[in-house]
A and B are shown apart, each in its own frame.
Chain A
Amino acid sequence: MSINWIGLYTLTKREVNRTFRVAIQTLVTPWITALLYIFIFGEVVGSRIDLIAGVPYIQFVLPGILMMNVIMGSFIASSNALYFKRFLHDIEEILVAPLSYMEMIIGFVAAAVIRSLVIGLGIYVIALFFGGASIINFWLFVFYVVSVSAIFALLGLIVGLWAKGFEQLNVWNTFAITPLAFLGGVFYSIEMLPENAQIVALWNPFFYFIDGVRYSMIGIQEASALVGFVIILGLIVLLGALVWYLFKIGWRLRE
């Protein structure tokens, strides 16, 4: 059976519409959070900080703030979508439809990536008002935003399947994503860390995600681009295969 393009498009569109149906929660909240970060760290604190890695502080932190919100937006989009569909049983509508497991996964991931792109675009527009926005390599910027949000959409699907309650659904954001993003160099250059901490930072994949998007926006790169590409593409393949397998066996999806 060939690809069910209409089915795939419909699933994606439905999830995107769900995002816009609750836009205050899904889009306005991360924009306001980013606005506060940009204003406080970029404008208020940043105006008292010398150049960092050769650029004003606001320009340095903006890519990190943007990527942090892209990551969270994508993760929340897919994990909540799948969890609530399981919780309310309307996942059955999809399970009985002639959609392949891969089409189901792509539909959820595409919707999460679109949500992240809208969040990212909004943050970029906000940053324009503070004079901190720039993109020196547009396609590389799109690559980092899309690929990293795809990684977190896939992770979100795993959590959406795994979670048995709201607490389990939200715990990852608090105890994993936020700390790793903060420690991945959102607000500082790796050079500012003690030598041992720099080595630890290199083992944090968030460092490569933030560093990559920072390079695409302001041309400053502290990590190996090749290592970053390998980590990103490797995670997409690995997580994609795992999610496909979980959908195939119906883990916590089918009775």
Chain B
Amino acid sequence: MSAQPADQPADPTSDVTAGRPVVEERPTIVMCPEGPMLLRGDAVIEDAEGNRHRTTRPVSAVCRCNKSATKPWCDGTHKLLPKKLRP
């Protein structure tokens, strides 16, 4: 096992290979400006009423504007809101 050089901190979020662009580890959760929260992987979400919803796709979009008709999932409704009222 080779030691990590002292001047290169072990960073789990980056994969730097000499001479190549940095490819970052993708995040599991992403807050989209004025849009939903993206969630990668299997998860169970409990909504405000205590109902549980299991994710059904590799990436899910969770409503953040609170106006979706398919909560907890995003249905694009945030785009119909004035910009000030978007997440």
Do A and B pair up? The answer is no
Tell me the A residues contacting B by CB distance below 8 Å. none
Chain B residues with CB under 8 Å of chain A are: none
